[in-house]
Structure 1
Amino acid sequence: MKREFTCIVCPNGCRLHTEVENGAVTSVTGNRCPKGRDFAEKECTAPTRSLCTTVKTLGGGAPVLPVRTAGELPKKRLFEAMAVLNAYTQTVPVYCGDVLIPDLLGTGCAVIATDDWAPEAAELK
Structure 2
Amino acid sequence: MLRVLVVNNSLKGATTTIGEFVGEGLTESKIEVHVKDVPTIEKESDLAGYDAYVFGSATYHGEMLPQMKRLLFLAEKVNLRGKVGGAFGAFGWSGEAPDRIFNTMYHILGMDLNNGLYPAS
Q: TM exceeds 0.5?
A: no
- The TM-score, its normalising length taken from structure 1, stands at 0.24
Greater strand share, 1 or 2? 1
- Bigger radius of gyration: 1
Greater helix share, 1 or 2? 2
